[in-house]
Amino acid sequence: MSLPDNYKPEEIVAGLAKLLQISEPKLFVNDLPALDVNPTDNVNIIAEKIKAWCETRPQLEENLENEIEQAGPGGTDGDAPEEVVREFMEVMQDNMMRLYPSGPPVSVVETGDSGTES
């Protein structure tokens, strides 16, 4: 399953921002760090990253699709793409801070080397 192609990038980005605002943060605790977005990404890049991210998270994808549908057609027509991105990044940052006050989890890589010389 994937998000329909008829969704505008602004709708996808704004829809996830709204979903992050209205949902219990722990709904995203295992998934949000995997959404690798940057403040320098434009709305099209972020939308593509969200679509790819959702493909392996069917429940979140369904929730996002419902949120976009509830917003109705052209739900972001009044907002410039830069404004949609700015608002999304603020919501992402707020959620990351609530979920991980000490910073997002970092994967530990086992190297097999104890770090000592013999």
Q: At 105, is the secondary structure helix, strand, or coil? A: coil
What distance in Å separates the CA atoms of residue 107 and residue 104, rounded to the nearest whole number? 10
What distance in Å separates the CA atoms of residue 108 and residue 77, rounded to the nearest whole number? 43
* 78-116 per-position pLDDT tens digit: 678 999 999 999 999 998 888 888 876 665 444 555 445
What distance in Å separates the CA atoms of residue 34 and residue 52, rounded to the nearest whole number? 11
Instruction: Please state the rounded mean pLDDT for residues 24-39.
Output: 87
Phi, psi of 86 (to 5 degrees): -60, -45
Give the pLDDT score at 77: 56
Q: Would you list the domain boundaries of the chain?
A: 9-99
**DSSP secondary structure letter of residue 64:** H
pTM: 0.80
